[in-house]
Structure 1
């Protein structure tokens, strides 16, 4: 391919990634309006959960399929499915139908997210991949900022239906670019699809994610429902691993884990993504709930973090392509993120907004290199015939890290907020029971109109000084919850940092070209630590 051909194909890849990452944030701001039109408050969270479940489960499957049939058909299928689901979602007349469309979107989104990163391996050499993976990370950051803004604008000025319809023209353009410019892969001969492996993976991941979504919220962690889901997920995971070790054409070849680069990059990616979720979930909560800063949507609150990520993702990618080493950039990013998360444990209700914004920027600066370079590390050390599988595995483990991290952080937060009624008991003694219950609801803090109504009802009974004490107690408890989340996330990021220290320091400029076709089935492959690389 000529350089121009590569750039045109890469433009299609960027459109694919923009489409997939935009969708993860653009719907959130429209959901209150959707609920008002369609009803279904009791299934509100399923608009997110259905998409996440379908996307996470499908990512490894698409990785394997792309190794068998090439990235191009998987990309085109994913775009087509995503477009269909978006159009149908915009036409929804019931919440149940909308949730089904979101699940269908997730199945398409799994192909888009996994292939957007794997496709870089088909288009560019090892030394070129760093800067283009970095640009992928930058596009992800841009779309994360634009998504909530665009969602709010479309909902306010057109209707919530356009939050789904807006995907269609972008998808059509991406489809054309991929169909016209992305190279087709040469046939490899007979291919076998691991259907049983896909079913076992689904049976393992779906109950686990459901347990993590419901645990501590709709059901106690010790309830038979949650424990049953976790037990079933564990049994299916064991069955999946056993089957992957026996089948000649696995979805996730276990021999990849013999490669220290693959293993360490995925472990570090798991923990670092959990740390990212601490930032993107709890910094906005602190800003709005504790500092009382009004933000029209989460995109504005997180804009400084994403700005930092865009800068370092791009710069780190270009530096790695020039010097040929990715480990120093990853370590630098993890050191910055670890320090920033531990600094977050020092937040107080009196912390200046400028300090929090600075913390967001620093976190983003650390996030940039890790977001794309772990993928580069996995691709560098994996056989070309398993490139899609290895890249998708990296995306899968990072998705799981974020989901599990969010569940653990939610449990930490809930544990702290559980003590709020007791801490407020002396200050709310003069209030009617209904008002005392309302005061103990921490959600009030991030809802300015509800807080104003509460003030109007409570202040005449306890006085302005009494209401100020109640508010200070609530904000203090929420601050303690957020800082403990940052402490736990900082410890997890420390694990990621220590694991990355053991990551082989491969030199991209000395890696030998990888073969197009393996000579042995994946299950019989030799250890990969020394295949096509010189580890240092």
Structure 2
């Protein structure tokens, strides 16, 4: 892997990577657990019109806090921040396991999202600290494999446990796994002995902060008060407020409130105001900005960030609404839906590791990045073509191709982004990508949910008639499982309405994937270096 400069043995690096990827596996499993449970939770709580907030609450928290962890872990140390993230993730799972109304459940998902966002982003930042860029694709591919394994098994795990013991057990049974993750972090990230003189990866008291990007991090150990003073609280607050207001407007518009109502318009306007305030704070006030906005002057950073935004919106729209289509129109159980979500893992495995090996051997990434968007268009087209009469293999293939295209896109955009900046900015650049990925996942679910519910309501009003029409419409807007309890004369028009609503979502996915192709084509192909210090590699090549 070329020369290293972190002073760690290969065994130590391997142990750290194992510890990180176990956390990634748990986080990914939790994500798809929720997708397989949405219909059942909504039916029990009678909250189908607001069930999107279960996913949105988690994703908003991830999007808001992911950008913070790069800088905060530079200040406090990787281990301490990772342990905090795991604790918050577990606390949220406990809250979900004891929730009996939607509000408490969403609160639990928000708390889990605060921790889950850090688990994911810090795993990538640690790789940037340890692995040269030319070989990052392979190791990122391994991380994506762990993510895909968790995502693939999550649907099966959630479906089986929910069918047998109820959906609350799905959350509480994950807590022991998070405890194991914390133990691994404590063991693998233990402070090195004095004789090793090994880098500061683990300790906030080290003479250098692992992955530090600024001179201040190389100063003598700071007090906790001094470290806290370095955090960009104004920027963090404005970013969180921007996302929460934006998500509230998009999720409730045309659903709980009319699009031109005061709550919706007010929240969208507020999101613009907070976004402007965030930009001002980051450019003019913050001494250590949570997001280094000046980096967007580099075309590749902007293009890869937008590719993450639109590609993630497309992928999450499929991952959340293909199960809705399968459970409603195709009449599947949670276990059957989970089995089809597992097909996503094979695509993630091939795309992640395959693209990593390709980039390690060739040093190129441009064209496979462009192709990844085309694969997601293909997945959307298959979903549009699926009917109860079509071959069952298509139900698996659509999710398989989604995983293939999305995993390639994630690997390529990360390598493109960090190859466009010096090594000392890798952690900051990684935080930028996770910010756009988090915003994309939040927007994807929120926009798709809004489109789905507005189209569904319109179709039901148009197709369902008769003495009990209003009661029927009200019931099926809140519960997928209510469809099976309807008189036979109502089932066909309701299923047709669900079919149209889901397929409008899939059309929007194809459009988003098309935009993803355009933004991906704007990325420049930078050199993938074989050492952590680019200047050294370039000097060796000239000798």
* CA deviation vs aligned residue, 1:196-247 (integer Å, no higher than 9, x gap): 1111112212211222222222222221001111111110100110111113
Aligned residue number for residue 232 of structure 1: 270
2:403 matched to 1:364?
Answer: yes
In the other structure, the counterpart of 2:145 is 138
2:232: which partner in 1?
A: 194
Question: Which residue does the alignment assign to 1:331?
Answer: 370
Report what 1:434 is aligned to.
468
Over the aligned positions, Cα root-mean-square deviation in angstroms equals: 3.5
Matched residues in 2 for 1:346 and 1:78: separation?
A: 41
2:442 to 383, 387, 403: 403
Deviation at 1:8, TM superposition (A): 0.7
Distance 1:451 1:407, change over 3 A: closer
Larger CA deviation: 27-36 vs 416-425: 27-36
Deviations 1:485-525 (A, max 9, x none): 22322122111111111211123147872589xxxxxxxxx
| Runs of 5+ unmatched residues, structure 2 | 1-7, 190-200, 210-216
TM-score normalised by L of structure 1: 0.82
Normalised TM-score (structure 2): 0.81
* Distance apart, 1:270 and its partner CA: 0.7
Task: Tell me the SS of whatever aligns to 2:486.
Answer: helix
Q: Is the 8 A contact 1:21 1:143 kept in 2?
A: yes
After superposition, the C-alpha distances for 1:95-138 in whole angstroms (9 at most, x for unaligned) are 76655444332222221121122221122111221011112212
1:487 to 2:507 alignment: yes
* Count of residue pairs the alignment pairs up: 500
2:84 to 77, 87, 101: 77
Q: Does 1:114 align with 2:121?
A: yes
Q: Is 1:258 equivalent to 2:278 in the alignment?
A: no
Q: How does 1:256-295 map to 2 (within 5 A)?
A: 256-295=295-334
| Match in the other structure for 2:430 | 391
- Counterpart in the other structure of 1:61: 68
Quick one: distance in 1 between partners of 2:367 and 2:61? 35
Classify the secondary structure of the residue corresponding to 1:508. coil
Alpha-carbon shift at residue 259 of structure 1 (Å): 1.8
Contact 1:271 1:401 in 2 (8 A): yes
Distance in 2 between residues matched to 1:270 and 1:239, nearest whole Å:
21
Deviation at 1:64, TM superposition (A): 1.8
CA distance in 1, matches of 2:54, 2:236: 24
- Show CA shifts across 1:472-496 (max 9, x none): 5444444333333223221221111
CA distance in 2, matches of 1:162, 1:295: 15
* 1:505 is the counterpart of 2:543: no
CA 271–248 in structure 1, closer or farther in 2 if over 3 Å, else same: same
Shift of 1:249: 1.2
Unaligned runs of 5+ in 1: 459-466, 517-530
Alpha-carbon distance in structure 2 between the residues aligned to 1:36 and 1:288: 12
The answer on whether the counterparts of 1:62 and 1:111 sit within 8 Å (CA) in structure 2 is yes
| Contact kept? 2:62, 2:438, Cα under 8 Å | no
- Greater alpha carbon shift after TM alignment, 102-111 vs 268-277: 102-111
- 8 Å CA contact 2:42, 2:51 repeated in 1: yes
Could you tell me how far apart the structure 2 residues matched to 1:442 and 1:38 are? Answer: 13
**Corresponding residue number in structure 2 for 1:306:** 345
Aligned residue number for residue 184 of structure 1 = 202
Moved more, 229-238 or 1-10: 1-10
Residue 269 of structure 1 deviates from its aligned partner by 0.9
Partner of 1:203: 241
Change (3 A) 1:353 1:35: closer
| 1-structure distance, mates of 2:439, 2:111 | 20
Cα deviation for residue 437 of structure 1 reads: 4.5
Change beyond 3 A, Cα 1:316–1:76: same
* Aligned twin of 2:486: 454
Q: Does 1:354 align with 2:379?
A: no
> What displacement does 1:276 show?
0.7
Q: Cα deviations across residues 78-105 of structure 1 (Å, max 9, x unaligned)?
A: 1233334445654668876655444332
Partner of 1:528: none
| 1:14-70 Cα distance to aligned partner (Å, 9 max, x none) | 111122222223356668888999999998665444433322211111122123344
Contact 2:416 2:525 in 1 (8 A): no
